Chain A
């Protein structure tokens, strides 16, 4: 394949653009790091999560993956489980949006009663959504600081 000069020009220009863009975006977040950290902690503290990634079948909801050591993992949900009902509402034909709505309705208590179908059998699972752990929040903060403020994540943030 012959390399044409026009290709070279395009490549050079795009390289320039990309580098300029990268230069421009160097400080991705202009807020002071301490402020960012405070906001992230504030927003995530007390925030409950389930720790499950769903896949939308047509129709139905199936667990795609489980976050390690999350509430779902501890309640022994397995990938491949199909959600039949959550908190008394049928999710046989539900979409992910419907499920999220149920979650947001239950966010005060965080309690979920889920009936799953696993290998043809129905199984009732009772679980409680949990707040993010401190380690998780620390990790998110460190990730943001590293990405947006180019600060090494070595120093563990103080509570």
Chain B
């Protein structure tokens, strides 16, 4: 049955894991495809941008050259006989032309020449160009670098219309003497180098398009999807593990509960049969001596007390486990009175079992807000345990102490002790430490559970020290409440309850 439960719990986790795996795989494939698409787009865009810009620059160059010749012809039309002053003026207005000569058809010998002031760049590359005018020929030299500067503003126009922010954007530059033309893949994008037409064939347009997908590291969608899936798978595995552990614990509790039923029924049957036997004897045999009759009556009474004690324990555990807040009624209690009263009540029972009891209480212990019944039951359970698991030395020491922050009730015995392996589990419900004679000692495995629950509900805890063969010491540690405001609570609420419970 446990096997089938385990399968039924693990199956959903398995399905979730498979689903997550498929999701991760698809997400990876999808982002890889998306990345390919974005990269192809960026690559294409870089090519377009470089080509378009190169053609724009070419046309700007052609326009510049054409505009210069047009301007000269305009000047010539205004002044039929050009002089060198006019040529200089033309030179100045076309800053990229370095020198020019005008040769009239009518008299080649009367040519005019103008040159710009010699700058530092006399060794710069010079290109020569000429055009015919209606009356002659103009031949000029120009500096290609300066011509490039002249047309550079064209770069500021984005080559393609931007429809949205996410569209790729190209960074454009004019590069001289490029090593290669065409595309190149960079770590974070693509470049495309497109050559310019003559006369600027030594230059090229470089377009660079950055791709968001090209980034490495966690921002990369592919890796991100994988990482998220790994984390999700890990969490699923963790969930499965926790579910399995909870299931195991539950299974164990179920096993223990089964043991309880056997236990309790045994526990109930033994005193019941004793009681029945006693009662029957009393009824049938009228010839009993007074002493025999008293013995039987005592035995019956003891068994009834034991029975009621056990039933109370079971009921209390169930009640506190169900978190019913009405289970406890906190009232001001003098711990010293409580302990003394308890011992007085049960001293005869304990001594009748052959035990020696010592009680040690500090004088001035503050009044505490406790549930009197519950604390009594806790102490009584500890005493009961000490009696039950006694060894050859029958000794019980009960102490009440008060420290700065705590009030401590200690129950010490010299019984058989508890093995270290069992120590951590003795407070679990239905758990009983394994002794060679566990079955001979009566109990339901609920006493210490109840003690611990009572302590928790009082804000305190139970400590236990034990070594097999030497004895155990249980300490009930309560938080101490200072008594400066120890007003006596109206006793009307308290007294009837105490009366009704005992």
Contacts and interface: CB of A to CB of B under 8 A. Distances in A.
Given A28-B85, A49-B108, A101 B132 contact: yes
A25 to B, nearest CB: 7
B115 A39 contact: yes
B75 interface: no
A119 interface: no
A29 B83 CA distance: 13
Contacts, number: 94
A54 interface: yes
Contacts of B84: 28-29, 144, 147-148
A136 B105 contact: no
A67 B115 contact: no
B108 A31 contact: no
A31 B132 contact: no
B115 A31 contact: yes
A54 B105 contact: yes
Interface string B91-108: 000000001010111111
Contacts of B135: 53, 96
A29 B139 CA distance: 17
Interface of B is mostly: mixed
Given A104-B132, A143-B110, A43 B118 contact: no
Contacts of A136: 108-109
A149 to B, nearest CB: 11
Contact of B103 (A36, A49, A64): A49
B106 A35 contact: no
B344 interface: no
A43 B85 contact: no
Contact of A35 (B105, B111, B112, B118): B118
Contacts of A43: 99, 101, 128, 139, 141
A65 interface: yes
A39 B99 contact: yes
Contacts of B106: 53, 64-65, 67
B109 A36 contact: no
Interface string B132-157: 11110101010000000000000000
A44 B101 contact: yes
A52 B114 CA distance: 24
A143 B105 CA distance: 17
B79 interface: no
B25 interface: no
- How many B residues are at the interface, by size bracket? 20 to 34
A69 to B, nearest CB: 11
Nearest to B133: A100
A79 to B, nearest CB: 12
Contact of B122 (A30, A35, A52): A35
A132 B117 CA distance: 27
A140 interface: yes
Nearest to A53: B106
B113 A144 contact: yes
Contacts of A51: 105, 108
Nearest to B110: A143
Among A70, A103, A140: residue with most chain B CB under 10 A: A140
A32 B99 CA distance: 13
Contact of B108 (A65, A67, A100, A103): A67
A139 interface: yes
B88 interface: yes
Given A29-B115, A36-B115, A140 B105 contact: no
A65 B88 CA distance: 28
Contacts of A36: 99, 113, 115
Contacts of B115: 29, 31, 35-36, 39
A74 interface: no
Nearest to B134: A96
Contact of B139 (A47, A50, A139): A47
Contacts of A39: 99, 113, 115, 141
A139 B104 CA distance: 14
A109 interface: no
Given A31-B116, A47-B139, A132 B108 contact: yes
B381 to A, nearest CB: 118
Given A28-B88, A31-B99, A143-B111, 4 more contacts: A28-B85, A49-B103, A54-B105, A136-B109
9 contacts: A28-B85, A29-B113, A29-B115, A31-B115, A36-B113, A97-B132, A97-B134, A136-B108, A136-B109
